[in-house]
Structure 1
Amino acid sequence: MPLLGRGPALRGRAFPRPSSKWIICEQSARIRRFDSPPPRSAASRTVRQWRSLRSLIWGLALNSAIVRGVREVLYVALGGSLGAVSRYGISEWARRRLGDALPWGTLFVNVVGSLLLGLLLGLALREVGTRGHRAAFGTGFLGAFTTFSTFSNETVLMYQQGKLTGAVLNVVLNLVAGIGAAIAGLWLASKVPIR
């Protein structure tokens, strides 16, 4: 690698034309061919700088709002899939065991879900748990576990089949037991000791 010198020693020397294969390295005031390999120490310094830059970029990316948002969406998706499968299993079990007089499975998941969501809300008000936990369990699992739409459709179907007493009983049980369970969940959360 040709070395012309540093500082004032470069004055008065003819610099290569820009079209040639020579380049001026500003950091060391050296002129060298740009197709020649950089000095070993410069290469290792470049690698170290690249690694630290890469670490900085990954650190910023993993903690950015976008990635946190994506992470929460994944938590909700995971919790939602578990909640939906749980609701399906409980509804099928209740239909086989308790019969079709009332939609017992839907009543059970709505009441238990209201209790658990009340408990989760009460703990969140006391700043227990992380946003990711609340997203996974509250929005994801309990959002898929409980079902207002199935409750509404089962009630309308019972009414259309002439089961007026069953339809009214279904509405009363879901509303009274669900709201009572939510109140009980909030009360339980207030009794949980927090460290």
Structure 2
Amino acid sequence: MVALVALGGAAGAMARAGVAAAMHAPWATLTVNLVGAFVLGGLLEFFTRAGDRPAWRLLLGTGFCGAFTTYSTFAREVAERSAGSGVGLAAAEVALGLAAAAAGAVVTARWAPRSSA
């Protein structure tokens, strides 16, 4: 189990580094957090419909998404802003993250099989 999380985490960290190299903050942070929320919403819907797959959940959800997304950088970017701007950034990113997770679930619901169990 630890190896699956580590493997997924290594891939997620490399993917986040690639996004950070291609974009400037806070856009890179927003991008990885929204993509991660979308993927996590999709995974939650998939595992709900098709049955839990612990190895895939650990590899993709805990490992990849855990390393790909970044709360600490988000918190630092919020704290570095003025109070009003920081609150606005935080509220926008949380709202967009919830919408991204819901969208991931909706997209997955269109093609994920239902478990017969």
The TM tier, using the shorter chain, reads 0.7 to 0.9
Q: 1:114 touches 1:182 (CA, 8 Å); kept in 2?
A: yes
Structure 1 residue 128: Cα displacement = 4.8
Give the one of 84, 87, 94 matched to 2:23: 94
Structure 1 residue 168: Cα displacement = 3.1
Structure 1 residue 77: Cα displacement = 0.0
Q: 2:50 touches 2:112 (CA, 8 Å); kept in 1?
A: no
Deviation string 1:17-47 (CA, Å, 9 cap, x unpaired) is xxxxxxxxxxxxxxxxxxxxxxxxxxxxxxx
Deviation string 1:133-169 (CA, Å, 9 cap, x unpaired) is 111000000000011111011110123xxxx454233
Q: Taking structure 2 as the reference length, what is the TM-score of the superposition?
A: 0.87
Structure 1 residue 76: Cα displacement = 0.5
Structure 1 residue 104: Cα displacement = 0.5
Q: Distance in 2 between matches of 1:193 and 1:119?
A: 9
Q: Taking structure 1 as the reference length, what is the TM-score of the superposition?
A: 0.54
1:63 alignment partner in structure 2: none
Please give the residue correspondences for 1:134-145 in structure 2 after superposition, counting only pairs within 5 Å: 134-145=57-68
Q: Distance in 2 between matches of 1:154 and 1:110?
A: 13
Number of positions where the alignment pairs a residue of Structure 1 with one of Structure 2: 114
Aligned-pair identity in percent equals 39
Q: 2:37 touches 2:100 (CA, 8 Å); kept in 1?
A: yes
- Between 1 and 2, higher relative CO (CA 8 Å, sep ≥ 6) is seen in 2
Structure 1 stretches lacking a partner, 5+ long: 1-71
Give the one of 78, 90, 98 matched to 1:171: 90
Letter in 1 for 2:106: W
The structure with the greater share of residues assigned to helix is 2
Structure 1 residue 130: Cα displacement = 2.4
Give the one of 78, 89, 113 matched to 1:155: 78
Structure 2 stretches lacking a partner, 5+ long: none
1:68 alignment partner in structure 2: none
Q: Distance in 2 between matches of 1:193 and 1:75?
A: 23
Q: Distance in 1 between matches of 2:22 and 2:85?
A: 20
Q: Distance in 2 between matches of 1:141 and 1:125?
A: 19
